[in-house]
Amino acid sequence: MRPATATAAAVTTLLGVGAAAVAVGRYAGDAALKASPGRPLPRDPRLTVHATAAGRITLTRCLASLRPGTYGIEGLGVHAVVGPVLDDAPHTADTVVRRLERVSHGTLGPGTRVRLTPQVYVGDPRTALGLDHTDVDVPGELGALPAWFLPGTRDTWVITVHGLGTTRAHPMNILPFLLGQQLPVLDLAYRGDAGAPRPPGGLGHLGDSEWRDVDSAIRYAVRRGAERVILHGWSTGAAMAAHAAVRSPLRDRVSGVVLDSPVLDWKATVRALAAARHTPGVLLPLAVRAVQGSTGLRGDRLREATGPGGLRVPTLIIHGPDDAVAPWHSSRELARLLPDLAVLHTVPRAPHAAMWNADPATYEETLRRFLTPLM
**Residue 190 neighbours by CB under 8 Å, 6+ apart:** 140, 145, 161, 196, 210, 213, 214, 240
- The pLDDT, as a whole number, for residue 8 is 41
- Report if pTM > 0.75: yes
pLDDT the model gives residue 4: 43
CB atoms within 10 A of CB 249: 9
Predicted pLDDT at 3: 47
Give the pLDDT of residue 28.
Answer: 54
Predicted confidence at residue 285, as pLDDT, reads 85
Confidence (pLDDT) at 13? 45
What pLDDT sits at residue 31? 55
Query: Do you know the residue count of the chain?
Result: 375
Q: What is the pLDDT of residues 238-248, one digit of tens each?
A: 999 999 999 99
Distance separating alpha carbons of residues 286 and 372, to the nearest angstrom? 46
DSSP 270: H
Alpha-helical segments (H) within the chain: 3-33, 125-129, 175-180, 211-223, 236-247, 266-276, 284-295, 301-306, 328-337, 355-358, 360-371
Q: Print pLDDT tens along the chain (375 aa).
A: 444 444 444 434 444 545 555 565 555 555 556 656 666 676 678 999 999 999 999 999 999 999 999 999 999 999 999 999 999 999 999 999 999 999 999 999 999 999 999 999 999 999 999 999 999 999 999 999 999 999 999 999 999 999 998 999 999 999 999 999 999 999 999 999 999 999 988 888 888 899 999 999 999 999 999 999 999 999 999 999 999 999 999 999 999 999 999 999 988 888 888 887 777 888 888 878 877 777 777 767 777 888 888 999 999 999 999 999 999 999 999 999 999 999 999 999 999 999 999 999 999 999 999 999 999
